[in-house]
Structure 1
Amino acid sequence: MEKPKIHPYIPILIGVISISLSAIIVKLTEAHSSVIAFYRMLFSILIMSPLFFSKYVNEIKILSKKDWLFSSVAGIFLAFHFILWFESLNYTSVASSTVLVTLQPLFAFIGTYLFFKEKITIKTIASGAIAVLGSFLISWGDFRVSGSALYGDILALIACALITGYLLFGQDVRKRISLITYTMVVYSISTVCLFFYVLITGESFGPYPTMDWVWFLLLAIIPNLLGHTIFNWAVKWVSTNVISVAVLFEPIGASILAYFIFSEKLMTTQIIGGVTVIIGIMLFIIDLKILKGFLKKVLD
């Protein structure tokens, strides 16, 4: 395999910073969560359209009824993931919300166990227990502050479960079509779902301050197209585990930015709980033999 022109870890770092900006940008907007989600997805598909229609549109023909069904479910899950996660940021801190969303690998394991009968190992149980303990510490600390903060934590957890469902329903379809086509289909379905949700709930599509439109566009470009596209490029050169572990640094980046931009200070329970969650998920993702070998090299 040819070597990349730049070390993959550099784009991965850019990707982590990009997705870390998502929660920050959402908190900077004045619009309702569902409206933010709608414009994020709408601008994403508008930006992708020229490339899709020029090179990939014919792939639509190979989608079966099952593919359309699974893609539709994935798109709906993605839509409500954004609605609930964005809404959680109105009640709880950036740190708590982003840390709880990183529990995605555990929700994925539960889904693959229930639907694909994957085996449960001692390592899985142990790492899962550690991560759950961390999320409990965060929620307990937030509850002590206010009931609304706990409500925000619950919304973030549900949003985490929904993004896992989005990935599980989409993985089968993704095997048969390109990333561009799959993303375009699912994002389009998600956009339609969000459009009707905003319509039914009576939220306004506009007008909004000029800066809100800038934030909507930046949400589409930075975390959606730049952040995740970089990860999709990097996976060609590095292990998926490297990407998964890198994503765990999103809460750290988001928390640092929230401290400087919104003066959000971290409580002791958030720090301890967040570190516990990240350790648990990291143990879940990384092969223990690899981890032991790495630690031995560091200690030696």
Structure 2
Amino acid sequence: MKQKTQRQISQTWVLIVVLLGMLSGATASLFIRYGTAPSLVLAAYRKTIVTILLLPMVLLHHRIELKQLRLRTVLWCLLAGVFLAIHFVTYFMSVKYTTIAASNVLAGTEILFVSVFMFAAGKEKFSWVSKLSIGIALIGGILVSLTGGGDTAVNAPLGNVCGVICAVMLAGYSLVGSKVRQANLSNTLFTFLAYGASAMVLNVMVGVSEYHFFGYGPVNFLVAIGMAVFCSLLSHSLYTWSLKYISPTLLAIVKILAPVPTAILGFLVLAEVPSWNQIIGGIIVILGIMLYTKDKTKNRQAIQKQKHPYNPA
């Protein structure tokens, strides 16, 4: 009984840490709004800074693993970095052009695109519940995308499209990351390589664009540092750490709810009020994804029970 209580307390504290990570990640939209540099430049700043911050950890603890890397693994990490670079550019543009609530709800549909890609590859099957939940989430996404709010209304369609592209690119990153991690590559080294590749792609994009690397004022460096620390290290890293203690399903549900604190922060700090269709559509999207996640978890447990019908314990 005592051990059970200790386990419950432990998971409670882990969940608190995950929620803090979600709140840290929710600040991304605020940082972007305070930045004055172009979205592409801000994205390049962020990924370059977080790569530099990860470098000492890699050199201190992963030098042997780094030397043993195969070319194929490096190429997969580069592909992940390309997906991540496009994800960040489109996410920054989405936050700039549409409301914070709409941007984050649409970006949060990543799990649905992962499933679509898996289905197209013949590695995923949909039950009627999964199909229904995807349809519900799709309806919610369309409702969210109908209009913008406030000063962003004119460019809202572009911002909403960027939000969807952002989710597609993040799905690609997650699928490549899953493939690479199955090859026993540590999370720290994969993150460093993917972030580094993303930084290189973004910096090349800045170099061939009409923008300049510098000349936007110190506020943009502060914004980039803030995003690197709060949104990358204190959000994504905490998510990864938590998987040792809680189920991926619970973590997925927490991430799905991320648009809620983001919208609240947008209201409190920027006085940005989501429109009625974005509030209702966001709720529908969250419910659809939660239903989908629950159904897929139930199906996985059923498959595992068929493979291992007897429990020796």
Judge same fold: TM > 0.5, yes or no.
Answer: yes
Deviation at 1:58, TM superposition (A): 2.2
Q: How far does the alpha carbon of each residue in 1:263-292 deviate from its partner, in whole angstroms, 9 at most, with x for none?
A: 1112110111000000001111124897xx
Could you tell me which residue of structure 2 aligns to residue 165 of structure 1?
Answer: 172
Could you tell me which residue of structure 2 aligns to residue 263 of structure 1?
Answer: 271
Could you tell me which residue of structure 2 aligns to residue 134 of structure 1?
Answer: 140
* Alpha-carbon distance in 2 for matches of 1:48, 1:128: 37
Q: Which amino acid aligns with 2:71?
A: K
Q: How far does the alpha carbon of each residue in 1:193-214 deviate from its partner, in whole angstroms, 9 at most, with x for none?
A: 0110000003121133222211
Deviation at 1:116, TM superposition (A): 4.6
Could you tell me which residue of structure 2 aligns to residue 105 of structure 1?
Answer: 111
Q: Point out the more displaced range, 249-258 or 202-211.
A: 202-211
| Cα distance change on mapping 1:41 and 1:116 into 2, 3 Å | farther
* Alpha-carbon distance in 1 for matches of 2:172, 2:36: 29
Q: How far does the alpha carbon of each residue in 1:76-95 deviate from its partner, in whole angstroms, 9 at most, with x for none?
A: 01001000110112210000
Deviation at 1:142, TM superposition (A): 3.3
Q: Which amino acid aligns with 1:164?
A: A
Structure 1 contact 42–191 (Cα < 8 Å) conserved: yes
* Alpha-carbon distance in 1 for matches of 2:35, 2:149: 26
Alignment match of 2:261 (pick from 243, 253, 266): 253
* Alpha-carbon distance in 2 for matches of 1:121, 1:62: 42
Deviation at 1:131, TM superposition (A): 0.3
Could you tell me which residue of structure 2 aligns to residue 13 of structure 1?
Answer: 19
Could you tell me which residue of structure 1 aligns to residue 202 of structure 2?
Answer: 194
Could you tell me which residue of structure 2 aligns to residue 296 of structure 1?
Answer: none
How many pairs were matched up? 290
Matched, 1:85 2:91: yes
Q: How far does the alpha carbon of each residue in 1:63-120 deviate from its partner, in whole angstroms, 9 at most, with x for none?
A: 3332222211110010010001101122100000000011011001011112252111
| Cα distance change on mapping 1:116 and 1:182 into 2, 3 Å | farther
Matched, 1:153 2:153: no
Structure 2 contact 149–273 (Cα < 8 Å) conserved: no
Q: Which amino acid aligns with 1:238?
A: I
* Alpha-carbon distance in 2 for matches of 1:231, 1:289: 19
Could you tell me which residue of structure 1 aligns to residue 193 of structure 2?
Answer: 185
Deviation at 1:179, TM superposition (A): 0.8
* Alpha-carbon distance in 1 for matches of 2:160, 2:276: 16
Deviation at 1:245, TM superposition (A): 0.6
| Cα distance change on mapping 1:116 and 1:174 into 2, 3 Å | farther
Matched, 1:24 2:11: no
Question: Over aligned residue pairs, what C-alpha RMSD do you find?
Answer: 2.1
* Alpha-carbon distance in 2 for matches of 1:181, 1:234: 18
Q: Which amino acid aligns with 1:182?
A: F
Structure 1 contact 57–181 (Cα < 8 Å) conserved: no
Residue 142 of structure 1 aligns to a residue whose secondary structure is coil
Structure 2 contact 31–223 (Cα < 8 Å) conserved: yes
Residue 229 of structure 2 aligns to a residue whose secondary structure is helix
Q: Which amino acid aligns with 1:247?
A: K
Residue 90 of structure 1 aligns to a residue whose secondary structure is helix
* Alpha-carbon distance in 1 for matches of 2:237, 2:192: 13
Alignment match of 2:237 (pick from 207, 219, 229): 229
Q: Which amino acid aligns with 1:190?
A: S
Deviation at 1:147, TM superposition (A): 5.1
Unaligned residue ranges in structure 2 (runs of 5+): 299-313
Deviation at 1:138, TM superposition (A): 1.0
Could you tell me which residue of structure 1 aligns to residue 306 of structure 2?
Answer: none
Could you tell me which residue of structure 1 aligns to residue 50 of structure 2?
Answer: 44
Structure 1 contact 143–150 (Cα < 8 Å) conserved: no
Q: Calculate the TM-score normalised by the size of structure 1.
A: 0.91
Structure 2 contact 84–173 (Cα < 8 Å) conserved: yes
Matched, 1:244 2:262: no
Unaligned residue ranges in structure 1 (runs of 5+): 291-300
* Alpha-carbon distance in 2 for matches of 1:276, 1:72: 35
Could you tell me which residue of structure 2 aligns to residue 65 of structure 1?
Answer: 71
